[in-house]
Chain A
Amino acid sequence: MKRALPIIAGILVLCIPLMVSNQFLLHLGIIVLMWTVLGVAWNLLGGYAGQVSFGHASFFGVGAYTTMILYLSFGLAPWYGMALGGIMGALLSLPIGFICFRLRGPYFSLATLAVAEIVRLVALNWEQLTHGPMGLLITTLPVVTLFGEPINWERKGPFFLIVAVIALSAMFATYLLARARLGSYLLAIREDEDAAESIGINTTRAKVSALALSAFFTGLAGGFYGMYFRYVDPDAVFPISLSIEMVFIAVVGGLRTIAGPVVGAVFLTTIAELVREHFEVGHLIFYGLFMMLVIRYLPDGIWGRVLRFFTPHR
């Protein structure tokens, strides 16, 4: 029964576009799911391996720009572009990991921040490739027929399905990772990296693998962003605040849990929407506030706390 629950939940989520037609609600759902992907992706490195990255926006942006450029310049359909966006993200993570993993703890975090800023500045200034601050715009998406009917890209339903599939894949990947040897190695690294090394774990390879997987899903989400919003510019996809928000979603939801980032995404997106309705600006105020509250009172995150409530010890 316990094992079936996530599968049932997953199927239900996929059925939502069939049941809900309110475009605003679907849009909200898409945002929540996109942040879920980002939170889950970040969690692979930050929650399981304990390496706090403040630079994940670079993978998101690379994924977004790859998708846009491949479609606008080469006509490659965005769904393939997305996958390539994910791969580009993973490729970018290799040199970044090589540089940053030489460092530990907060120094690693700061290095990721610096690297992300460099990537952002390159994107901003390499006008030939990225059109700089002007950004890239998609006007029409390619025609695709499903069961004889062309997909209506003006409706939110198809996008919801796509991002839901990505989110569920990311969560499934986390599940597989946790059960695999790599998952245990990452836990050991998180607990004590030297001790992990001393029992025979190739810590560098483990961290690089976790980062590559994390960067892949982040890039994939970036590609989806490009496809859904149809406009990207460096400020939208590369800012430091995006990296920080990814951290918040994972931390507030619960590190080292599979469903934690979902909870974090739902929670923070709901707050953002409520604030936007009543105050127009300032949702980040609550992000900051909740980050502080969670670290102080719920260090396992919201979902982590809920889980602990249900298990007898530990």
Chain B
Amino acid sequence: METFFQSLVNGILTGTLYAMIGVGLTVIFGVMRIINLAHGDMVMLGMFGAYWSYTLWKIDPFVSALLLVPLLFIAGMLAYRFLLKAIIPGGELNTLLYTAGLSLLIANLALFAWTGDYRTLNLSYAEVPLRPFGIAVPVPLAIAFGLAVLITVALYFFLARTDTGRAVRATSQNAEAAALMGINVENISMITFGLGAALAAAAGVLLVPSLYLYPTVGEILIVKCFVIVVLGGLGSVPGAIAGGILLGVVESFGAVYVSVAYKDTIGFIIFLLVLLFRPQGLFGARQA
């Protein structure tokens, strides 16, 4: 029974971090109908940013986030303005292929600069896990979970209560109508892409104490991200959160009760099943 709860908690904690990655991707898709294949690599950049900050200057990753996240927000906006904007009129598939190229570029530049060695970030306070109710919870994971929740709440307030946030939601529901209402769709798209990148960076920073780090980690992350986003319904933030947690729990249980080797496979199979039978996602709205 203890294994069950340990598994469950692990799954929820990891799942929340997955969710953060998924939220960034889904927000971008919701507004611009772009599937950003480079999203996983943006997470990787966040991870490396935190790693180098800690290794070189002893800055705790949760602190370096304060710099990295805004940095990647701006980088994301610039990437949209100078790279993507011209591609989008070419169609969904062209944009998909373009982001695939971007992903390859970023990942391999990182590989070239930092080599393919697996790295880990060992924080001093990560040694002894917390033990609420007898369940082992690594400290960094707990902090990451807490921050992830905070960020999600902040995101909710942004989207629901601020003018810009409402503009983002309006644009994602109907870009034409939003434009007619006076919303500058181009600016909103730019901000949204920046937001997606910032969320990716945040997810990376939160993840780095708990995951192996290497330049091509984006490959696995992006695939997991799709599973999450499809489970939750493309474009739905609550869906991405639910999907992330669900994936985390399924993987955790899968590793314990089925086999470690096939735990990734389970995620993919669910992905395919959802795409086939409920393409709008478990929580998404049905399109006519």
Q: Do chains A and B touch in the complex (CB under 8 A)?
A: yes
> Residues of A with Cβ closer than 8 Å to B?
50, 52, 99, 102-103, 105-107, 109-111, 113-115, 117-118, 121-122, 124-125, 240-241, 244, 247-248, 251, 279, 281-282, 284-285, 287-292, 295-296, 299
Chain A residue numbers with a CB within 8 Å of B51 are none
Inter-chain contact B272/A244, CB cutoff 8 Å: no
Q: Which of B96, B112, B264 contacts A285 (CB 8 A)?
A: B112
Inter-chain contact B262/A288, CB cutoff 8 Å: no
Inter-chain contact B272/A291, CB cutoff 8 Å: no
Complex: chain A residue closest to B94, CB-CB: A295
A269 to B41, alpha carbons, bound, how many Å?
25
How near does chain B come to A55, taking the closest CB pair, in angstroms?
11
Inter-chain contact A289/B105, CB cutoff 8 Å: yes
Across the A-B interface, the 5 shortest Cβ-Cβ residue pairs: A291-B101, A288-B104, A288-B105, A292-B101, A284-B108
Contacts A281-B111, A282-B109 given; 15 further ones with Cβ under 8 A?
A50-B93, A99-B276, A107-B279, A109-B93, A110-B226, A110-B275, A117-B223, A248-B101, A284-B111, A285-B112, A287-B101, A288-B102, A292-B98, A296-B87, A299-B94
A7 to B91, alpha carbons, bound, how many Å?
36
Known: A285-B105, A291-B100, A291-B101. A106 touches B92 (CB 8 A): yes
How near does chain A come to B106, taking the closest CB pair, in angstroms?
8
A115 to B100, alpha carbons, bound, how many Å?
18
Let me know if B177 is at the binding interface, CB within 8 A. no
How near does chain B come to A22, taking the closest CB pair, in angstroms?
30
Inter-chain contact B279/A295, CB cutoff 8 Å: no
- The number of chain B residues with a CB under 8 A from chain A is 39
Inter-chain contact B93/A288, CB cutoff 8 Å: no
Complex: chain B residue closest to A111, CB-CB: B275
How near does chain A come to B232, taking the closest CB pair, in angstroms?
14
Known: A52-B93, A114-B272, A117-B264. A282 touches B112 (CB 8 A): yes
How near does chain B come to A157, taking the closest CB pair, in angstroms?
34
Inter-chain contact B275/A288, CB cutoff 8 Å: no
Chain A residue numbers with a CB within 8 Å of B92 are 105-106
What would be 27 A-B contacts, judged by CB atoms less than 8 Å apart? A99-B276, A103-B276, A110-B35, A113-B226, A114-B271, A115-B272, A118-B269, A125-B261, A125-B262, A248-B101, A282-B108, A284-B111, A285-B108, A287-B104, A287-B108, A288-B106, A290-B101, A291-B97, A291-B100, A292-B83, A292-B102, A295-B87, A295-B90, A295-B94, A295-B101, A299-B90, A299-B94
A111 to B223, alpha carbons, bound, how many Å?
10
Chain A residue numbers with a CB within 8 Å of B90 are 295, 299
Inter-chain contact B108/A288, CB cutoff 8 Å: yes
A146 to B157, alpha carbons, bound, how many Å?
76
Q: Which of B227-242 contact A (CB under 8 A)?
A: 227, 230
How near does chain A come to B162, taking the closest CB pair, in angstroms?
30
A115 to B268, alpha carbons, bound, how many Å?
7
How near does chain A come to B214, taking the closest CB pair, in angstroms?
14
Complex: chain B residue closest to A295, CB-CB: B98
Chain A residue numbers with a CB within 8 Å of B269 are 118
Chain B residue numbers with a CB within 8 Å of A295 are 87, 90, 94, 97-98, 101
Chain A residue numbers with a CB within 8 Å of B93 are 50, 52, 105-106, 109
How near does chain B come to A254, taking the closest CB pair, in angstroms?
14
Chain A residue numbers with a CB within 8 Å of B109 are 282, 285
Chain B residue numbers with a CB within 8 Å of A125 are 261-262
A256 to B276, alpha carbons, bound, how many Å?
29
Complex: chain A residue closest to B105, CB-CB: A288
Q: Which of B219, B262, B279 contacts A103 (CB 8 A)?
A: B279
Inter-chain contact B111/A282, CB cutoff 8 Å: yes
A282 to B244, alpha carbons, bound, how many Å?
33
Let me know if B265 is at the binding interface, CB within 8 A. yes
Let me know if B86 is at the binding interface, CB within 8 A. yes
Chain B residue numbers with a CB within 8 Å of A251 are 97
Chain B residue numbers with a CB within 8 Å of A117 are 223, 264-265, 268
Chain A residue numbers with a CB within 8 Å of B219 are 240-241
A247 to B105, alpha carbons, bound, how many Å?
15
Inter-chain contact B98/A291, CB cutoff 8 Å: yes
A113 to B96, alpha carbons, bound, how many Å?
13
Chain B residue numbers with a CB within 8 Å of A282 are 108-109, 111-112
Chain B residue numbers with a CB within 8 Å of A102 are 275-276
Let me know if B103 is at the binding interface, CB within 8 A. yes
How near does chain A come to B282, taking the closest CB pair, in angstroms?
15
Chain B residue numbers with a CB within 8 Å of A107 are 275, 279
How near does chain B come to A46, taking the closest CB pair, in angstroms?
9
Chain B residue numbers with a CB within 8 Å of A248 are 101
Complex: chain A residue closest to B277, CB-CB: A102
Chain B residue numbers with a CB within 8 Å of A106 are 35, 92-93, 96
Chain B residue numbers with a CB within 8 Å of A284 are 104, 107-108, 111
How near does chain B come to A161, taking the closest CB pair, in angstroms?
33
Complex: chain A residue closest to B234, CB-CB: A107
How near does chain A come to B98, taking the closest CB pair, in angstroms?
5
Chain A residue numbers with a CB within 8 Å of B272 are 99, 111, 114-115, 118
How near does chain B come to A83, taking the closest CB pair, in angstroms?
30
A279 to B35, alpha carbons, bound, how many Å?
32
Complex: chain A residue closest to B90, CB-CB: A299
Known: A99-B276, A285-B112, A295-B87. A110 touches B230 (CB 8 A): yes
How near does chain B come to A81, taking the closest CB pair, in angstroms?
27
Known: A110-B35, A121-B262, A244-B104. A281 touches B86 (CB 8 A): no
